[in-house]
Amino acid sequence: MDPVDQHVHSHHSFDCQTEPADNIRQAIAAGLSGISFTEHFDTHPEEWPTCRYDDRAYSATITDLRRRFADTLFIGKGIEVCYQPERMDFILDFLEQHDFDVVLLSVHWAGDKAFHRRHHWAELTVPQVSRLYFQTVLEATRLARDLHRRNGKRVFDILGHLDLIKRYTHRFRETEDVINGQEELIDQILTTCLEADLIPEINTSTLRTGLSESMPGPMVVRRYAELGGRAVSLGSDAHSAADVGADFDCLCAHLPDLGVHSLACFEQRRLRLLPLGDAPR
């Protein structure tokens, strides 16, 4: 089975210097059937001035890559939207006016607190900051659900790194135990994803930075399947070409044991399911 990496960055993102073609070459070497770039779209007032997103330049890159490599693998144009409720009108208008294969929704902030900035939550315990994070993720998924119901179609396709907060509790507090005590909130998030037609991502970046599991890990993935989820998206969150498709083989081998039997792939916003063990190239 040849999966698609649907969370990849290049020099079109503020925090990455990688040449897009290098990501493509690595995807081919890794045996992937596709790769979707998901460049950062960060609209928080503190980050917007440094957001490097330029749709014209980005689209030109995708066009060139497809000209050079389309006979070898699928190349998607995606975007990673940072959830910012105060900027949602601007975000929705931007998405409406531009074309994407996939739109990924991620939570990095809760109000004026950035989870990746230790001093923003220095006074909070790990359970407190974990709860704040998951409450914000639930708020984001409910927005996605309500927009879907109102518009009759998805505005967001994938929920990125559902339990991202453990990346930072591991980095700043030397623990990745953020699930304990938050099970009810996580159930609500997963149920809302199903209601919103929002596919959870399994993000493998934590496996490269010393954590014991992906985001989310097996416990949450199994619970998603128990609640009725049947497909997930895979994302390396690569900011270096060498990380494209990292750890996908091992992950795919274990997903059926957790109750997940298909991978979700988006092309021109349309969902395609790739059965694990029987996915066409």
Residue from 153, 151, 220, 155 nearest 189 by CA: 220
Tell me the longest C-alpha to C-alpha distance in the chain: 53
The confidence score (pLDDT) of residue 278 equals 45
Angle at the Cα of 273 from the Cα atoms of 272 and 278, rounded to 5 degrees: 130
Domains of the chain: 4-275 (3.20.20.140)
Query: What pLDDT does residue 280 have?
Result: 35
What is the mean pLDDT for each group of 10 consecutive residues in the chain (281 residues)? 93 98 98 97 96 98 97 97 97 98 98 96 97 98 98 97 98 97 98 98 97 98 98 98 97 96 98 76 33
Tell me the whole-structure pTM to 2 decimals.
0.96
Q: Which 3-state string (H, E, C) describes the chain?
A: CCCEEEEECCCCCCCCCCCHHHHHHHHHHCCCCEEEEEEEECCCCCCHHHCCCCHHHHHHHHHHHHHHHCCCCEEEEEEEEECCHHHHHHHHHHHHHCCCCEEEEECCEECCEECCCHHHHCCCCHHHHHHHHHHHHHHHHHHHHHHHHHHCCCCCCEECCCCCHHHHHHHHHCCCCCCCCCHHHHHHHHHHHHHHCCEEEEECHHHHCCCCCCECCHHHHHHHHHCCCCEEEEECCECCHHHCCCCHHHHHHHHHHHCCCEEEEEECCEEEEEECCCCCC
**Res 1: pLDDT:** 61
Question: What is the pLDDT, as a whole number, of residue 269?
Answer: 98
